[in-house]
Structure 1
Amino acid sequence: MGYLQLLRKRPVLVLWSSAAMSVLGDRLYGLALMWVVYESTGSAAWMGVAAVVESIPYILIGTFGRDLVARFNSFRALGWLDAGRAVVGCSVPLLWSPGDEGLAVLLGLIFVLGGLGALFGPNLGALVPDMVERDQVRQVIGLLDLTTRIAAIAGPGAVGVILLAVSEVQLFALDGATFAVSALAMWWLHGHVRRSAPAGASGAAPTGPVPTGAESGAVAALPVLRRHPDVAMGLGLHGVAYFVAAVSAVGLPALLSVQLGLSAAGYGLVLAAIGAGALAGNLVIGNVRLGPWLMVDCGAWMVAGLTLLGYAMAPSLPVLLGIAFLSGLASPAGAVPWRTRLAEFERRERLRLITVNATVIRTTGTVGMLALPMMVDAAPAAAFTGAGVLLVVAAAVTAVAGRRAVAGAERARVEAVAGRAS
């Protein structure tokens, strides 16, 4: 299997191991954040505020800070970012206290963590494809996606065991420890890149930091998107997908209770089925090329939309578990081909597109989290049906329009080449 071959390479193994620990840390962070906020306020609305506060730096930096993002495009810089996140995470249990003052401090630290994450994520995504040969890019992206799928299954159990020994607020410190490990991994990778730079990977892009600011100027996204309409359409489709994702994120427990009278145990089974489907889907999409990336991407999101409709109409728990497995199966098929497509660009363009993608999904996801829960409260089944129809239509329109746009762009390129030759 391609994953096992990649893990025999020490840099990939180091990266994957630190990513796996970071994903578990993110699970700890997410649980700690929501639980501590709810425990101190007794309000679900404040939980939503905390999620929005974390997303604001992603939106601001992604929109206005392209030069700032480009300054951190090296493993050494990423190590310092994670060192900063480790300090902030470990300081939460020391600075937090029950009450309004403690909540304000917590929200401020969340904002700082969001800003550091907004700088870290796109840069890591831009650096990873240069670590392997070009024909292994899809597999290494799938391998990193696998950490998320494994954490979705193992994470809740691990968190439950950890909470037997520590309090919820101490989970922030454990998350900080995972950032410290990641920082060490980034610095090791920086040293490895410097040691192996003279040899150079065959067909790989340069591995040094990207020139920034006055030296070269960060790349603007709009001209790149105009030259590559498939990427522009994929970006729009992913925005719609993350907007409607709020329905299942906050509405699934309510739907299961109203529709089938299920308890928390039934909700846990559904989450387990989603996790199992996502794991199976990753093993397929990470190792088998299924066709043109845009068609695979649109097909995956169309299936995801149909599963939202299925949730609203499922007559029994066994049917619901089958739909949940199918929903999980579609998730990596909508993520890995998209990230692989972005990895095909040269590194400066790749970094800008990954940053724009993060900005789009954070923005649309935040809008969805603010708007759609009210629809779920009013009518859970109708909210799932509407979200499913929207996603299916968006995927179908993108597939048809994308094929035509790609064909038109290809004709224009051929005509331009022929014109220059004549």
Structure 2
Amino acid sequence: MRLLRRGPVMLLWGAQTCSVFGDRLYAMAIMWLAWKQSGAAAMGWVAVAESVPYIVLGTLGRSLVARFAALGRLAVVDVVRAVLVGVLPLVWDTFGLAGMLACAVLLGVGGALFDPNLGALVPELVEPDDVQAVNGLMDLTGRIARIAGPGVAGVLLAVVPRQGLFWLDAATFVVSGVALAVLSGAPVAAVPTKAQEGAKIRPRARVLLRTRPETAAAIGVHGAGIFAHSVALVLPAFLVAHLHAGAAAYGAVLAATGAGSLAANTVAGNVRMPGSLPVFYCATWAVSGLILASAALAGSLPVLLAVSVLLGAVNPFLPVALSTHLSAFPPAARLRLMSVDLTVIRTAGTVSMLFVPGLAGADPVSAFPLAGLGLVLVAGAGSMAAWRLGRHRSPLAPVEGKELARD
């Protein structure tokens, strides 16, 4: 609340809350459109098409990503995305699935340029002591959107033409772009010029991860966590097989998880996290895996709802801890690591969507303990590795300069 009294932070947070909410509307609209026009397979192709640019640019496009390390340039990206989203229904009607996939790829390129740069620039807007709090505040935008977005999208799909959701999302991109343009001309925006200057170094991911292996362990565990939690895709089948429950129970579980995460966000952004953040981060994923595995032990819906609240309560600590850790790096290194992290989780998410539902669908009840305990093992090993590799290193003294660019 103290940070929201600052004009630049309030402007950015409000604009991004609007934009992320619009993204949830877009996600519902594009999947509905893909299914209705071309069937279930098209839904998978859309998801893959939007993820591929994250993987490619995160792996090979460090120079291109670094060129957008400025609020003004991110404003241009948002305007372009607004145009792409606004014309997407027309492109579909004119060029069919191929045209829509081309738009999805271009939107993915925009996201791959925008997301890591915004994450790297946000810490520059506050003092070092407020970095964790501002990361918690930005995480709150996603929490609100994930809870409210699907419900609002469902209502709007019932009362407005499908184009309406795309136009609404385009409007939220415009709002975000205007806010970023305003911030780029404000005095506070003089701070992010450090990120622009640092981005000229363009550090190599191999050097960063080899020099900071505890950070590499945390990013690797992030990918494993995303992969393991994709078992939630078969949650409806799990509810039917385990509790003989239906759609109402599914909605209740999602609501309980969202409520837990929303409540815990207020703690994650404001309570000092103990010890080494990479160790804490990996250990928190292990706790999340343990809770995920325990879902199979729930013998009734109320017990499962309690488990869901606990699982949701763990979630905000994960992005806040990792973002705060990465924010301690110099701007160029921070941007590169955030881009690598996005590449890892997009890769894990894409692979999981292709394989996990089919594998878990055969036995959805057993899938939860298998995924959860597997995550416990990986995250536990990551936590031990992060502790051993980082215990003699200062968390605020990462390498920089020529050392970063060395191959």
Q: TM-score range by the shorter chain?
A: over 0.9
Following TM superposition, by how much is the alpha carbon of 1:157 offset from its aligned partner in structure 2, in angstroms? Answer: 2.9
The separation in 2 between residues aligned to 1:378 and 1:169, in whole angstroms, is 37
- Decide which of 17, 26, 31 is 1:29's aligned counterpart: 26
Following TM superposition, by how much is the alpha carbon of 1:209 offset from its aligned partner in structure 2, in angstroms? Answer: 2.4
Within 5 Å, which residues of 2 pair with 1:13-24?
13-24=10-21
Aligned to 1:181: 175
User: Residue 312 in 1 paired to residue 296 in 2?
Assistant: yes
- Decide which of 396, 404, 407 is 2:391's aligned counterpart: 407
Within 5 Å, which residues of 2 pair with 1:251-290?
251-290=234-273
Within 5 Å, which residues of 2 pair with 1:13-412?
13-43=10-40, 45-97=41-93, 101-193=95-187, 197=190, 206-207=193-194, 209-210=196-197, 216-248=200-232, 250-292=233-275, 293-409=277-393
Question: Is 306-315 or 335-344 further displaced after alignment?
Answer: 306-315
**Residues 156 and 67 of structure 1: CA distance in aligned 2, closer, same or farther (over 3 Å):** same
Residue 106 of structure 1 aligns to which amino acid in structure 2? M
Which aligned segments of 4 or more residues in structure 1 are displaced greater than 6 angstroms? none
1:298–1:399: 8 Å Cα contact kept in structure 2?
yes
Q: Tell me, what secondary structure is at the counterpart of 2:68?
A: coil
2:22–2:169: 8 Å Cα contact kept in structure 1?
yes
The separation in 1 between residues aligned to 2:14 and 2:189, in whole angstroms, is 21
Following TM superposition, by how much is the alpha carbon of 1:228 offset from its aligned partner in structure 2, in angstroms? Answer: 1.6
For residues 77-132 of structure 1, the C-alpha deviation after alignment (integer angstroms, 9 at most, x for no partner) is 0000000000001101222229xx42221111111100111000011011110000
**Residues 285 and 339 of structure 1: CA distance in aligned 2, closer, same or farther (over 3 Å):** same
1:96–1:106: 8 Å Cα contact kept in structure 2?
yes
The separation in 2 between residues aligned to 1:169 and 1:305, in whole angstroms, is 39
2:195–2:331: 8 Å Cα contact kept in structure 1?
no
The separation in 2 between residues aligned to 1:405 and 1:276, in whole angstroms, is 36
Following TM superposition, by how much is the alpha carbon of 1:72 offset from its aligned partner in structure 2, in angstroms? Answer: 0.5
For residues 184-233 of structure 1, the C-alpha deviation after alignment (integer angstroms, 9 at most, x for no partner) is 0110110014x763xx6xxxx75462366xxx441112222222222011
2:194–2:331: 8 Å Cα contact kept in structure 1?
no
- In the superposition, the TM-score normalised over structure 1's length comes to 0.89
Residue 395 of structure 1 aligns to which amino acid in structure 2? A
For residues 313-370 of structure 1, the C-alpha deviation after alignment (integer angstroms, 9 at most, x for no partner) is 2211001001110110111111101110000001000010000000011011111111
Q: Tell me, what secondary structure is at the counterpart of 2:391?
A: helix
The separation in 1 between residues aligned to 2:87 and 2:42, in whole angstroms, is 21
Unaligned runs of 5+ in 1: 414-422
Residue 321 of structure 1 aligns to which amino acid in structure 2? L
2:22–2:172: 8 Å Cα contact kept in structure 1?
yes
Q: Tell me, what secondary structure is at the counterpart of 1:362?
A: helix
Q: Tell me, what secondary structure is at the counterpart of 1:163?
A: helix
Following TM superposition, by how much is the alpha carbon of 1:302 offset from its aligned partner in structure 2, in angstroms? Answer: 1.5
**Residues 196 and 219 of structure 1: CA distance in aligned 2, closer, same or farther (over 3 Å):** closer
Unaligned runs of 5+ in 2: 398-407
The separation in 2 between residues aligned to 1:29 and 1:353, in whole angstroms, is 28
The separation in 2 between residues aligned to 1:310 and 1:220, in whole angstroms, is 40
The separation in 2 between residues aligned to 1:196 and 1:339, in whole angstroms, is 20
For residues 10-49 of structure 1, the C-alpha deviation after alignment (integer angstroms, 9 at most, x for no partner) is 0000100011101111110110111111111232x33122
The separation in 2 between residues aligned to 1:131 and 1:336, in whole angstroms, is 16
